[in-house]
Amino acid sequence: MTPTLHVGIAGARFAARFHWKSYQKVTGTRVEVVGVTSRSPESRAAFAREFDVRSFDSFEELCDASDAIDICAPGAVHESLAVEAFNRGKHVIVEKPFTGYFGPGDESFRGDEFPKETMLKEALASCDRILKAAADSGKTLCYAENWVYAPAIQKEREILTKSGGQILWMMGDESHSGSHSPYYGIWKHSGGGSVVGKACHPLTAALSLKRSEGLARDGRAIRPATVSARTHEITRLPGFRDAGFLRTRYHDTEDYSQLHLTFDDGTVADIFSAELVLGGVHNWLEVFANNHRTRCNLNPVDALETFVPREELLKDVYVTEKIETKQGWSRPAADEDWQHGYPQEFQDFVESIRNGREALSNASLARDTIAVLYSAYVSAERRGQEVTVPL
Ligand SMILES: NC(=O)c1ccc[n+]([C@@H]2O[C@H](COP(=O)([O-])OP(=O)(O)OC[C@H]3O[C@@H](n4cnc5c(N)ncnc54)[C@H](O)[C@@H]3O)[C@@H](O)[C@H]2O)c1
């Protein structure tokens, strides 16, 4: 029997919770979450109590008890934690954003005013330090982009590759009314706003589909070539009228973005993301191919449509992520984690670690994503000028 895979989680709140739940669903290999650490003693103690795991006072102790480290902390510490875990001989799973640029460490840093070419260069250097640490250790690096594994995207991958299709254009979006995390909206913690925090999801799904198309047809991945982008700070406009439904007070990050991407075969994708959208999360990617067209709806989906005349009837019922009201018609998610691809993602990560193979969402996809996202900031700084993505 293969030995149990011991996983330690760094970070103890939102992402850590759905990662823990996903490990419970892995089949074929025994996985044990040995414990958790975080910067805040309160959050790690609360997580340890809720899930009956050990709370570790330090990252080093967590590493000592683990075969694999799963990083669910804010983006600013992804590189340091990943490199340290690899140096200690552990496999590593890194949440999005893979890494980025978080400032030179001084209090006066504002991401919206900082030169974006420097950010791009530094973000790629950060990627390369993680990739080198992974290569030196010989351990597996998984990039936790759940959209790659969402069943709607995976079914489109099957349609695309088995039908021999060519994707000509994709259009996608991840938007909602604003993140719950106190770190979000502060560039030095998050590495950016809607571009890095939200556009990353449909973008990586789009990158992954074009990779699959190229590999299936020619044995060569189709990769991003150029990006043109605009970003805006709508909730910080002097004339913005706050009706109380959207999160506001983003410190130095954008709350709207639009990316136009070209691939190295000349085909295109348009990716939107915003913190300005009411009605629950709005996660979708539409694929326009030469032989088919698919709308991948991740959330909401209409497996259920429910009407209640009064909100309080559903007070104990989870409906869907970030929905503002449950009254009237709603589309309760039958299994939101499954729709988002979380259990499928961790099944692949565990199998890739066990079998010493690449995960579908791997280091190279993570690096391409960061290259596009920070090239998009360079383009936005130039009011939408086309920028070549440095691979
Ligand atoms: N894939 C997804 O759908 C998804 C959703 C939400 C968040 N995320 C990602 O997950 C990560 C965490 O986000 P979140 O929403 O859980 O944030 P959060 O604010 O809810 O939790 C962050 C946790 O990290 C801990 N932390 C901070 N610094 C740390 C350090 N140096 N070492 C260890 N722990 C530290 C905090 O104490 C806290 O427990 C981010 O990278 C975020 O982008 C992904």
How many angstroms is it from 181 CA to the middle of ligand 1? 8
How many angstroms is it from 100 CA to the middle of ligand 1? 15
Judgement on whether residues 137 and 179 belong to the same structural domain of the protein? no
Q: Tokens in use for 278?
A: 């009411």
Judgement on whether residues 377 and 292 belong to the same structural domain of the protein? yes
Judgement on whether residues 258 and 124 belong to the same structural domain of the protein? no
Judgement on whether residues 29 and 75 belong to the same structural domain of the protein? yes
72 lines ligand 1 (CB under 6 A): yes
40 lines ligand 1 (CB under 6 A): yes
CA-based end-to-end distance of the chain: 41
Residue 364 lies in a domain: no
Residue 267 lies in a domain: yes
Interval 52-78: pLDDT, tens: 999 999 999 999 999 999 999 999 999
**Residue with CA nearest ligand 1 atom 40:** 74
**Using H for helix, E for strand and C for coil, what is the string for the chain?**
CCCCEEEEEECCCHHHHHHHHHHHCCCCCCEEEEEEECCCHHHHHHHHHHHCCEECCCHHHHHHCCCEEEECCCHHHHHHHHHHHHHCCCEEEEECCCCCCCCCCCCCCCHHHCCHHHHHHHHHHHHHHHHHHHHHHCCCEEEECHHHHCHHHHHHHHHHHHHCCCEEEEEEEEECCCCCCCCCCCHHHHCCCHHHHHHHHHHHHHHHHHHHHHHHHHCCCCCEEEEEEEEECHHHCCCCCCCCCCCCCCCCCCCEEEEEEEECCCCEEEEEEECCCCCCCEEEEEEEECCCEEEEEEECCCCCCEEECCHHHHCCCCCCCCCCCCCEEECCCCCHHHHHCHHHHHHHHHHHHHHCCCCCCCHHHHHHHHHHHHHHHHHHHCCCCCEECCC
Containing 370, the helix (H) or strand (E) segment is helix 363-381
Ligand 1 atom with least separation from CA of 80: 31
Judgement on whether residues 142 and 155 belong to the same structural domain of the protein? no
Domain of 170, in residue numbers: 151-337+370-388
Give the number of domains in the chain. 2
* Ligand 1 pocket mutation pick from 22, 36, 69, 95 by most atoms within 8 angstroms of CB: 95
How many angstroms is it from 175 CA to the middle of ligand 1? 19
11 lines ligand 1 (CB under 6 A): yes
How many angstroms is it from 379 CA to the middle of ligand 1? 28
Q: Tokens in use for 244?
A: 């109380």
Give residue 329's pLDDT.
97
CATH of the domain at 94: 3.40.50.720
Residue 362 lies in a domain: no
Residue 118 lies in a domain: yes
Residue 312 lies in a domain: yes
For 296, residues 6+ apart whose C-beta sits below 8 A from its C-beta are 150, 152, 153, 155, 156, 172, 205, 284, 285, 286, 287
Alpha carbons 341 and 71: distance in angstroms, whole number = 18
Give residue 2's pLDDT.
79
348 lines ligand 1 (CB under 6 A): no
Alpha carbons 341 and 358: distance in angstroms, whole number = 18
| 49 alpha carbon, distance to own chain's centre | 27
Cα angle vertex 387, ends 386, 391, to 5°? 145
Residue 363 lies in a domain: no
Judgement on whether residues 328 and 293 belong to the same structural domain of the protein? yes
Q: Tokens in use for 64?
A: 């000592």
Judgement on whether residues 90 and 220 belong to the same structural domain of the protein? no
Residue 365 lies in a domain: no
How many angstroms is it from 15 CA to the middle of ligand 1? 6
For 158, residues 6+ apart whose C-beta sits below 8 A from its C-beta are none
Judgement on whether residues 321 and 250 belong to the same structural domain of the protein? yes
Judgement on whether residues 263 and 381 belong to the same structural domain of the protein? yes
146 lines ligand 1 (CB under 6 A): yes
Residue 129 lies in a domain: yes
Q: pTM above the 0.95 mark?
A: yes
74 lines ligand 1 (CB under 6 A): yes
Alpha carbons 178 and 277: distance in angstroms, whole number = 8
How many angstroms is it from 284 CA to the middle of ligand 1? 23
Give residue 272's pLDDT.
98
Ligand 1 atom with least separation from CA of 182: 19
**Residue with CA nearest ligand 1 atom 30:** 39
How many angstroms is it from 176 CA to the middle of ligand 1? 18
103 lines ligand 1 (CB under 6 A): no
How many angstroms is it from 57 CA to the middle of ligand 1? 17
Alpha carbons 240 and 303: distance in angstroms, whole number = 36
Judgement on whether residues 256 and 220 belong to the same structural domain of the protein? yes
Judgement on whether residues 315 and 289 belong to the same structural domain of the protein? yes
How many angstroms is it from 71 CA to the middle of ligand 1? 8
Give residue 183's pLDDT.
85
Q: Spell out, as residue ranges, where the chain has pLDDT lower than 70.
A: 1
**Residue with CA nearest ligand 1 atom 39:** 12
Judgement on whether residues 111 and 195 belong to the same structural domain of the protein? no
CATH of the domain at 225: 3.30.360.10
